[in-house]
Amino acid sequence: MPEPIITSLYSMAALYILAGILHFVLPKFYLRIMPPYIPYPKFVVYLSGLIEIALGMALLFPETKKLGAWGIILLLIAIFPANLYHYQSRRKSDPPKWALLLRLPLQFALIYWAYLFV
């Protein structure tokens, strides 16, 4: 694999591993953006953090890279409603509304990025 592609892959892996770790460091942030219809929100926050860490790590190994990329695509689709809910229910302490709105189409760019590795 050419070096820029390896750098991109490792950057994506680091992004998801770090994001997963943040679920344990800042669970209150993730609980705030959880739609109210999700049962057991604290469990879901921790579980999604573990999944992000596992998928990010899966990107680091040739044997599991495709599985990790497909998993990230499915995860991004699954969490889209939470990002939409966060935009719609923004609090004063949250990022600006424009940033939350920008995050919605960014999900599609992240899906495309992961798709490059399937």
What type of residue sits at position 53? I
Interval 74-102: pLDDT, tens: 999 999 999 999 999 988 888 899 999 99
Tell me what pLDDT residue 91 has.
87
What's the CA gap between 57 and 39, in Å, rounded? 27
Q: What confidence category does residue 2 fall into, taking pLDDT thresholds of 50, 70 and 90?
A: confident
Tell me what pLDDT residue 4 has.
75
| Helix spans in 1-118 (H) | 3-25, 27-32, 41-58, 65-88, 97-115
Cβ pair 94, 104 in contact under 8 A: no
What type of residue sits at position 81? P
Domain ranges of the chain: 4-116
Interval 15-68: pLDDT, tens: 999 999 999 999 998 998 899 999 999 999 999 999 999 999 999 999 999 999
What's the CA gap between 33 and 45, in Å, rounded? 10
